[in-house]
Amino acid sequence: MNVSAKDISFVGVMTALCIASNYALIGVPNVKFMDLFVFISGYLAGSLSGMAVGFLTWLVYGTLNPYGFNLPTLAATSIGETIYGFAGGLTAKWRLIPPSNPPIAMTVRAYWETNLKLGILGFLLTFTYDLFTNVVTGVTFGIPLVLCIVQGVPYTAAHEVSNFFFFLAGGKVLINAIRKAVWKGGES
């Protein structure tokens, strides 16, 4: 495995972006850009880098969090967040989303189909993450699983719906913009 300084820098910058955006939206429970940024990290730099961004983001944000600290919850969120980076890397590898097409080169229909795929993928990944973290929360605090999931519905709904729209509206645009800024030096 060959890890360059550019790869390490990318992980650091994307982790910082995730943490900063989380603190900026701290007053809005479960509505964060972090999941999209972690996915994009995996998409652009590979699954391992994306997973590192997700894990490191929660390691910092979950430890220095005004809502408190709980080790089992921190472990679950840190591990759970890696799913976005892993999926981002697989999405690029399997070419589920076209690698780079400026909107002008795509038909309007193809552009929205790509965005809709990203939105659905964001929703499904978030559903998986929320289910995993709710199960861990239930086990950690001795809450019956069904009760834990039912009590979490308002939070999971906000998380899943907001991520659907973040991935739908911002996924392709941010992938292209970050790729251009990082790998092409901002040139067209």
- Rounded Cα gap, residues 135 and 131, in angstroms: 6
Look at the block and give the residue holding tokens 């913009």: 177
Percent of the chain scoring above 90 in pLDDT: 77
For position 10, what pLDDT does the model report? 96
Q: What is the mean pLDDT of residues 31-51?
A: 97
For position 143, what pLDDT does the model report? 94
Tens-place pLDDT, residues 58-83: 999 999 988 888 999 999 999 999 99
Residue 94 lies in a domain: yes
- CATH of residue 107: 1.10.1760.20
Q: How many domains does the chain have?
A: 1
- Which domain, by its residues, includes 117? 5-183
Burial 94-118 (b: 16+ CB within 10 A, else e): eeebeeeeeeeeeeeeebeebbebb
For position 52, what pLDDT does the model report? 98
Q: Distance of CA 182 to CAs 14, 43, 170, 187, Å?
A: 11, 13, 17, 10
Q: What is the mean pLDDT of residues 122-140?
A: 96
* pTM of this structure: 0.93
Q: What tokens appear for 185 in the block?
A: 């030096």
Q: Tell me: pLDDT of 157 over 60.
A: yes
DSSP state letter for 173: H
Beta strands in the chain, from DSSP E residues, in sequence order = none
Tens-place pLDDT, residues 89-130: 999 999 888 766 555 567 788 888 999 999 999 999 999 999
For position 51, what pLDDT does the model report? 98
Percent of the chain scoring above 70 in pLDDT: 93
Residue 188 lies in a domain: no
Tens-place pLDDT, residues 44-55: 999 999 999 999
